[in-house]
Structure 1
Amino acid sequence: MRGRMQGVWLAALISLLCHSIANAGKEAAAAVCITSERDALLAFKAGLCADSAGELPSWQGHDCCSWGSVSCNKRTGHVIGLDIGQYALSFTGEINSSLAALTHLRYLNLSGNDFGGVAIPDFIGSFSKLRHLDLSHAGFAGLVPPQLGNLSMLSHLALNSSTIRMDNFHWVSRLRAPQAISSLPLLQVLRLNDAFLPATSLNSVSYVNFTALTVLDLSNNELNSTLPRWIWSLHSLSYLDLSSCQLSGSVPDNIGNLSSLSFLQLLDNHLEGEIPQHMSRLCSLNIIDMSRNNLSGNITAEKNLFSCMKELQVLKVGFNNLTGNLSGWLEHLTGLTTLDLSKNSFTGQIPEDIGKLSQLIYLDLSYNAFGGRLSEVHLGNLSRLDFLSLASNKLKIVIEPNWMPTFQLTGLGLHGCHVGPHIPAWLRSQTKIKMIDLGSTKITGTLPDWLWNFSSSITTLDISSNSITGHLPTSLVHMKMLSTFNMRSNVLEGGIPGLPASVKVLDLSKNFLSGSLPQSLGAKYAYYIKLSDNQLNGTIPAYLCEMDSMELVDLSNNLFSGVLPDCWKNSSRLHTIDFSNNNLHGEIPSTMGFITSLAILSLRENSLSGTLPSSLQSCNGLIILDLGSNSLSGSLPSWLGDSLGSLITLSLRSNQFSGEIPESLPQLHALQNLDLASNKLSGPVPQFLGNLTSMCVDHGYAVMIPSAKFATVYTDGRTYLAIHVYTDKLESYSSTYDYPLNFIDLSRNQFTGEIPREIGAISFLLALNLSGNHILGSIPDEIGNLSHLEALDLSSNDLSGSIPPSITDLINLSVLNLSYNDLSGVIPCSSQFSTFTDEPYLGNADLCGNCGASLSRICSQHTTTRKHQNMIDRGTYLCTLLGFAYGLSVVSAILIFSRTARNAYFQFTDKTLDEFRAIVQIKLNRIKAGRRQSMEIYRLGSQNSITCYELEFGYTTEGN
């Protein structure tokens, strides 16, 4: 019986096994791909190029289900997955419409390829079973086709690309935007970053039903909205990236509802207010990046804000307005690998407990107000530290000379801290270091030899603004990785040695370097060279204009001589040339006109001659053209106004230009500074000066120059204009050029005629100098319309008549010079004018005043008018003439009849003539001295920038 039962069980087992084998055979047979779908894939492959990774050659044979990047349903054999993005093969070519035959497709990934800017194929919208669609960074361009709105089964959608755009959200199920997104209830991953989403109010969505969403990435879109309220109902959300979306408003308390959130990135927006306390509920967070906003509040007051975030690894809140100190909360975040609190207003000392953050790799506390001392106790346990920046704080670094750190840094920033007097000895152990910034750290003396031995790693070396002495070593050429070398503002002497070819940024300005530049600088790929304010001599080498990458070259304030090299045709990237204050002569080379990218050209204070080369009219992006204090001649060309419409500063002072100001000048709609002083210009003062529209508005705190690709132009609100010039690669290395704002100087020329009444239209003019010309007529009443005027110099002209009462409307006037004209009458009285002495009025014999001016002539209470005074003068002259005639007849009679009387008369006449000659000569000497007399120095600017004006209203520029 027992044996019979075993036989039954054995028979049943064999039967089941046979059945399973049979079914397996059927399924295996069924798993062979569908012929039509195989043909569709082969047609798709035929349209592709660049199969460099050898993946698609496996697409051979009858069974496409065995091909790479293809997956099939094991039961039906239908193709359900196509992934040519997983290996980043960078295919090119076209998307063959044969793919439309893959009607059972559930997974499609075409990302990371380059399909040449073609539109997303409409037929993708026919894959109704599709659940995963990734077209990110695949080279598609244009609008997203509305057919994608048919893909209601999607759980993963990635369209992030800088070339795809969406005018609206209608493509999602063709519903009203942006409510349409909620029609995808199965959606788990939505990536629309870099997708040119239209600016829209995301808060117009009141309810969404894609509650399964775990990943939402809308970063790098200009949404111009507040944070959308519906996001806070997505309780399954673990990844949220809304960075660089132009979002505004505050972060609401409802963010505490996202209890599953592990990744939060809101950087680079306009968010404000405090970090909400309800964020303390987000205990799963391991990455927080809220940097580059306007967040405020005291972190110390919210000590429990991060207390439950035991897995927090990255905390970045730099570039905000946060306050507080680091005590009582930071030491608990022991899992941190990245901490960035830079560019805030944190105070206090850095606690020694920061050493408990033993997992730290990246630590940036720069640009705060931390004080006190920092020693090896703070850093001793940070064995994983790779980057450390404490720059621009009030810290004193006190580390024992024999201390050896356990970490190996790649970057160190201590700019502005008190490190000196010596280079830290422990730096010698940092053999992997790439970036060292010890600028403004009070280091003195010579640099140690071992510093130049970082030849295999160092890329950035900044020891600027110290008191370092000695010479630059010849071994510098062996630092093969060096890219940025900044030794600005030290006491270095000697010549400049050869540099490694790797150097891109070179700043050796404000030292005592001498000699000529080497025959080969070595840094042939440099794009920023600043050697200003040294004692360098010789000629400017031609290789500077043969460096194709050059963007800024500044050799100002040296002793260079000779002619300018004429080889600038290939300098297509150059935007700043400053060779001012040298001993250069010859003409401005015509090839400079080929530098169409040029924004700043300063050649002032040399001995250049010739005319303005007409080729410069091709430099239509010029912001500053400063050729002052040379020997240039000829007339001012009309193309100055016709072609250089972006000019902010035009300075041609102290040359030998002649003729009239061209009528095209008012086309300089951005002009803020017009300085043509000390030339031989003639003709009437142009009426069209009133059409300089940029001086007729208050620019506030920004002057927008759209064509200025390489310059940031800003003001202090009223009185000065600074142009911050930088390279497009490294903004932190820059030059600043300060010029007076809303300033016109036409002094010491040969202008004639009257002051045009139209000049009163330049309502925001701050300084006007027309002195030293031959201007006639009266001061126009419209001068009172210049309500912002702070300096007015009309001295040494031929002005007549009275000072208009409207001049008292110039309530901001602090410098006035009307001396040496033919003005008459009463000086207008106001609280402002009562502060002036008699100097502004000297040389005007018929002026009088009772308003604080200490003129020798005080007006009486019944001062006669000019007309009545002239009548009195004529009567006096007539009586004097009659008296003289009568006296002459008497004297003649006496002389005829008396020899003694005749001798006495001639002696009296000779003595009187001698006294008269002496009086006239003294008067002339006083007039000449008065014309040379300097005005009170007039200061324009803020605490950060001061420009001094003398009689000729000269300005200064400073490169920082």
Structure 2
Amino acid sequence: MPCALWTAWVLGIVISLSKEGAPHQASSLSCDPAGVCDGRSRSLSSIPSGLTAAVKSLDLSNNRIAYVGSSDLRKCVNLRALRLGANSIHTVEEDSFSSLGSLEHLDLSYNHLSNLSSSWFKSLSTLKFLNLLGNPYKTLGEAPLFSHLPNLRILKIGNNDTFPEIQAKDFQGLTFLQELEIGASHLQRYAPKSLRSIQNISHLILHMRRPALLPKIFVDLLSSLEYLELRNTDFSTFNFSDVSINEHCTVMKKFTFRKAEITDASFTEIVKLLNYVSGALEVEFDDCTLNGRGDLSTSALDTIKSLGNVETLTVRRLHIPQFFLFYDLRSIYSLTGAVKRITIENSKVFLVPCSLSQHLKSLEYLDLSENLMSEEYLKNSACEHAWPFLHTLILRQNHLKSLEKTGEVLVTLKNLTNLDISKNNFDSMPETCQWPEKMKYLNLSSTRIHSLTHCLPQTLEVLDISNNNLNSFSLSLPQLKELYISRNKLKTLPDASFLPMLSVLRISRNTINTFSKEQLDSFQKLKTLEAGGNNFICSCSRGLCATTSTDCGT
């Protein structure tokens, strides 16, 4: 055979063998000594062969597996976690999981399962987590699917396209769930008492685009559910008519609307729904859109009288398309008297009207982070008799510019003890300031200040001035117990004589080279010191470590 032909033949054989070996390389698992095997995103078309009892955790998610056979996992008798999500599985043999008696975590989400079988779970009495979301089934099977799972605590079912019905038998056998997630964006039928068969649910996440069936579901859950979360719900046409409820005491504690669409009219209907909860309630609106102008019906609100037992109200990232036409919400002021905690974050708030502040007579905690508050409008909000019981005010990342004006405006808040005005641009600190007389906690982190003055209140017990441009600390604060001054330019520890009560000092990421044992001992009440991230030069003669490093132990 000529030399050139021989060379070509050998190269062809090598290339052919490398191509044949490629699938084998892609299908290999990465397993550690503890039996945790990682096979994610490896273009697998089937469950790898050769799995043994040594495998404790198997992750085969994000592959192209289409079939789970009865023998594929037979030897994995010690398997505790099996993740098969985001594959193309359309068939699971009846006894595919029969040998997995120790399994606690099973993920079959986002596959192509059009039918579910209760026989899959007959041997899985130890199962705690089951995820069946995102498969194209229409029902949860003919027989009760979860009756063999007494230890199940987290269950995720349904899909956003082809799951139209919840049947009376669907949850039989389940008595307690920590979390239940139901994808039912196009739910059309709900059999009464279907969810009531579960005696206790800590957290229900319900994806429901149209809320027509919400009243029926809500009534069934009042005596068993602690936390209801609705996602991607359009309340444009929601109408909550009076319903008959036998329970005098409900266990619901929290209600979240996430990515919901709300109108002026439906807001009133939502308040009606909240009035059926008997105990103290936390209500949260997260990433919601208000398609209205705040023009609420006075006659409808007159029938409500209050926000029910809502004590905590949280609003994050509220979008109001017609904000330029928005009303002042005067019609709901009278409903707010019992609310104790309010968070309105990243929602373009620039003013809380004085009259609303005066109606918030029970308010103890107010968080207006990431908004547009300035000293001028804050003065109107913190008017005389506003927020009489407020003890915590958070104005992080707003448009405040003057410490002197901010302190002066807040003097009206006689019970204010905690103030967070971090991430505002103050730059400089005046020599003197006025503050509420009970101030104990002040957060001035990330405010670009470069020096400290007697503007700081002498009553402080906790001060956070981290992430600024400070190169020294020589201020007397006789009651200060905690000082957070990391990420500045300090070259030495503060003088202990200025801080006789200090018990916590966090001074990491400064430019400190060294400090002596005597300096450290001078803080007589110090219990916690964090000083990492400094360029220490350590020396035994100073009673510290004997090496040069970025951190020194004491």
Q: Using structure 1 for the length normalisation, give the TM-score.
A: 0.32
Q: Structure 1 residue 530 and structure 2 residue 387: aligned?
A: no
Tell me which of the two structures has the higher relative contact order, counting C-alpha pairs closer than 8 angstroms and 6 or more residues apart.
2
Q: Secondary structure at the match of 2:168?
A: helix
Q: 2:443 aligns with which of 560, 565, 577?
A: 577
In structure 2, C-alpha distance between the alignment counterparts of 1:589 and 1:674, rounded to whole Å? 29
Q: Secondary structure at the match of 1:540?
A: helix
1:555 counterpart letter in structure 2: I
1:427 counterpart letter in structure 2: I
Alpha-carbon displacement from aligned partner over 1:775-803 (angstroms, at most 9, x marks no partner):
xxxxxxxxxxxxxxxxxxxxxxxxxxxxx
Aligned to 2:364: 504
Contact 2:312 / 2:339 at 8 angstroms: preserved in 1?
Answer: yes
In structure 2, C-alpha distance between the alignment counterparts of 1:323 and 1:441, rounded to whole Å? 24
In structure 2, C-alpha distance between the alignment counterparts of 1:651 and 1:759, rounded to whole Å? 14
Contact 1:486 / 1:507 at 8 angstroms: preserved in 2?
Answer: yes
Q: 2:239 aligns with which of 400, 403, 406?
A: 403
Q: 1:758 aligns with which of 539, 548, 553?
A: 548
Q: Secondary structure at the match of 1:459?
A: strand
Q: 1:376 aligns with which of 203, 212, 229?
A: 212
In structure 1, C-alpha distance between the alignment counterparts of 2:543 and 2:347, rounded to whole Å? 43
1:602 counterpart letter in structure 2: I
In structure 2, C-alpha distance between the alignment counterparts of 1:647 and 1:272, rounded to whole Å? 47
1:512 counterpart letter in structure 2: L
Q: 1:686 aligns with which of 518, 529, 537?
A: 537
**Structure-2 change in CA distance of 1:488 and 1:612 (3 Å):** same
1:437 counterpart letter in structure 2: E
Deviation at 1:481, TM superposition (A): 0.9
**Structure-2 change in CA distance of 1:373 and 1:610 (3 Å):** closer
Q: 2:530 aligns with which of 671, 693, 697?
A: 671
Deviation at 1:577, TM superposition (A): 2.7
Deviation at 1:401, TM superposition (A): 1.7
1:467 counterpart letter in structure 2: H
In structure 1, C-alpha distance between the alignment counterparts of 2:199 and 2:290, rounded to whole Å? 26
Deviation at 1:490, TM superposition (A): 0.8
Alpha-carbon displacement from aligned partner over 1:862-902 (angstroms, at most 9, x marks no partner):
xxxxxxxxxxxxxxxxxxxxxxxxxxxxxxxxxxxxxxxxx
Aligned to 1:464: 316
**Structure-2 change in CA distance of 1:510 and 1:372 (3 Å):** same
**Structure-2 change in CA distance of 1:491 and 1:372 (3 Å):** same
In structure 1, C-alpha distance between the alignment counterparts of 2:502 and 2:540, rounded to whole Å? 17
1:492 counterpart letter in structure 2: V
Query: 5+ residue gaps in structure 2?
Result: 1-79, 81-101, 107-117, 133-139, 522-526
Contact 2:190 / 2:213 at 8 angstroms: preserved in 1?
Answer: no
Q: Work out the percentage of aligned pairs sharing the same amino acid.
A: 11
Aligned to 2:62: none
Q: Structure 1 residue 273 and structure 2 residue 104: aligned?
A: yes
Q: Secondary structure at the match of 1:405?
A: coil
Aligned to 2:27: none
**Structure-2 change in CA distance of 1:546 and 1:633 (3 Å):** farther
Q: 2:257 aligns with which of 415, 425, 439?
A: 415
Deviation at 1:489, TM superposition (A): 0.8
**Structure-2 change in CA distance of 1:402 and 1:334 (3 Å):** same
Q: 2:495 aligns with which of 605, 613, 637?
A: 637
2:485 counterpart letter in structure 1: L
2:260 counterpart letter in structure 1: H
Q: How many residues align?
A: 385
In structure 1, C-alpha distance between the alignment counterparts of 2:540 and 2:291, rounded to whole Å? 53
**1:404-553 counterparts in 2 under 5 A?**
404-407=240-243, 413-420=255-262, 424-425=266-267, 426-427=269-270, 429-430=272-273, 432=275, 435-443=282-290, 446-450=293-297, 456=306, 457=308, 458-468=310-320, 469=323, 470=326, 473=329, 478=334, 479-494=336-351, 496-497=353-354, 498-499=357-358, 500-514=360-374, 515=376, 516-517=378-379, 518-520=382-384, 522-536=386-400, 538-541=405-408, 548=415, 550=417, 552-553=418-419
**Structure-2 change in CA distance of 1:689 and 1:652 (3 Å):** farther
Q: Secondary structure at the match of 1:376?
A: helix
Deviation at 1:613, TM superposition (A): 2.3
Alpha-carbon displacement from aligned partner over 1:66-93 (angstroms, at most 9, x marks no partner):
xxxxxxxxxxxxxxxxxxxxxxxxxxxx
Aligned to 1:601: 464
**1:253-264 counterparts in 2 under 5 A?**
none
**Structure-2 change in CA distance of 1:652 and 1:612 (3 Å):** farther
Q: Secondary structure at the match of 2:283?
A: strand
2:369 counterpart letter in structure 1: S
**Structure-2 change in CA distance of 1:272 and 1:402 (3 Å):** closer
In structure 2, C-alpha distance between the alignment counterparts of 1:298 and 1:331, rounded to whole Å? 20
Contact 2:534 / 2:550 at 8 angstroms: preserved in 1?
Answer: no
Q: Secondary structure at the match of 2:258?
A: coil
In structure 2, C-alpha distance between the alignment counterparts of 1:465 and 1:762, rounded to whole Å? 44
Q: CA RMSD, aligned part only? A: 5.9
Alpha-carbon displacement from aligned partner over 1:461-495 (angstroms, at most 9, x marks no partner):
32321223457656676421121222211123345
Aligned to 2:505: 647
Q: Secondary structure at the match of 1:511?
A: coil
Aligned to 2:421: 555
Q: Secondary structure at the match of 2:366?
A: strand
In structure 1, C-alpha distance between the alignment counterparts of 2:214 and 2:289, rounded to whole Å? 22
Q: Secondary structure at the match of 1:553?
A: strand
**1:298-337 counterparts in 2 under 5 A?**
304=144, 320-325=153-158, 331-332=168-169
Deviation at 1:512, TM superposition (A): 1.8
In structure 1, C-alpha distance between the alignment counterparts of 2:472 and 2:547, rounded to whole Å? 35
**Structure-2 change in CA distance of 1:521 and 1:569 (3 Å):** closer
